[in-house]
Amino acid sequence: MENKEKLKEIIEGCLRNNRRSQEELFKLFYGKMLSVCMRYNSDRDSAQEVLQEGFIKVFEKLGAFDYKGSFEGWIRRIIANTAIDAIRKSKKDPYLTDNDNDFKLGASDPMVEKEELEFMDLKAEVAMEAIQKLSPAYRTVFNLFVLEDYSHKEIGELLGISEGTSKSNLAKAKMNLQKILNEKFMNIK
């Protein structure tokens, strides 16, 4: 938001349980936070449910925001954590149910982890579609590391997996994304 004073005014209104301020805050961040939810969910309805849940948490925790960091970043973290909680609730242990069945094994080539996908020329739509085709486990680690800037240690703690597993899952997510994107572009020709 270009005007920090206006944002502060909206936040203060929300703290007073002013419905208009709450609606304004929701509308202000809806689009960006829905895209965060879409990275963790394969369908829009589920993403919107997670977004609603996330905003309830934002409003509940708003008093804890200290104006020291980015408000958008603060909201983004709450929304991302809500999406991860929803994944946990929907499946008993989604981190063990992957097509490859070698989820907890280390990457066969340590260099794979260092490879970066080249998304510069891809439209956001195509990238999102490819990310949504990943298994929930790989998609979650990929989102947390690449898009949310979590460290492997933080991801491990958050998901209850080892740091090595997080690294391995990121490498496998990148390989799978590359395969998905290669197939997509082969079909275009």
What is the phi-psi region of residue 115: left when phi exceeds 0, alpha when psi lies from -120 to 50, beta otherwise? Answer: beta
Both 40 and 54 in a single domain?
A: yes
Both 85 and 104 in a single domain?
A: no
* Nearest-angstrom CA–CA distance, 29 and 59: 13
Query: Which residue range forms the structural domain that includes residue 80?
Result: 4-90
Q: What pTM, to 2 d.p., does this model score?
A: 0.59
* Chain segment 102-131, per-residue pLDDT in tens: 344 444 443 333 333 333 334 556 777 888
Q: Domain count for the chain, please give it.
A: 2
Q: Choose the final residue of a domain: 66, 90, 114.
A: 90
What is the reported pLDDT for 58?
Answer: 95
Both 98 and 125 in a single domain?
A: yes
Q: Choose the final residue of a domain: 90, 122, 155.
A: 90
In sign, the C-alpha dihedral spanning 151, 38, 66, 57 is negative
